[in-house]
Amino acid sequence: MFVQDDLQQRWWNLEAKLVERFGKKPDMEAILFLIGIQEFGQLKDKFTKEQKQDLMHVAVCSLLSESGYYILEGTDDEGWPHFRQLKPMPELNAIEQENFLKDHILLYFSKTGF
C-alpha cells in the first residue's frame, strides 16, 4: 500500500468520526478552527473573523510544534498562545502542503485519543 493511500484512508476515518460527532463533514478550515479553540482553551458564543483566523493560526502553530517548527513562548493577558518559529517550513507544492498538514492533524487527534 502506498503511504499516500494510507494517509487518505486515515483522513477519511477521521472525517467519519467528526461527522458522527458534529453531524456534518468539516473542511480543513473547520478542523483547524476546532483545534484552535481546543488549544486556546476558551469557548465563546461568537468569535470575530479576525479571532477565527487567529484560532486557525494557533492550530497550525500547535500542530507544527510537534515537528519542531514552532515553540510555544507563552500566552498573553487574554489567554492567546504565542509561538516562535524555530525553523523554516519545507518547500512543498499545494498538495504536499495539504498532506503535510493532514498528517499533523491526524497525529494531533491520535494524541488526544479521538
Q: What is the pTM of this model?
A: 0.87
* Domain of residue 17, residue span: 3-111
Total domains in the chain come to 1
pLDDT digits (tens, 9 = 90+) for 52-81: 999 999 999 999 999 999 999 999 999 999
What's residue 86's pLDDT?
97
Distances (CA, A) of 75 to 30, 40, 71, 81, 84: 23, 9, 12, 4, 12
Cα–Cα distance between 8 and 44 in angstroms, integer? Answer: 33
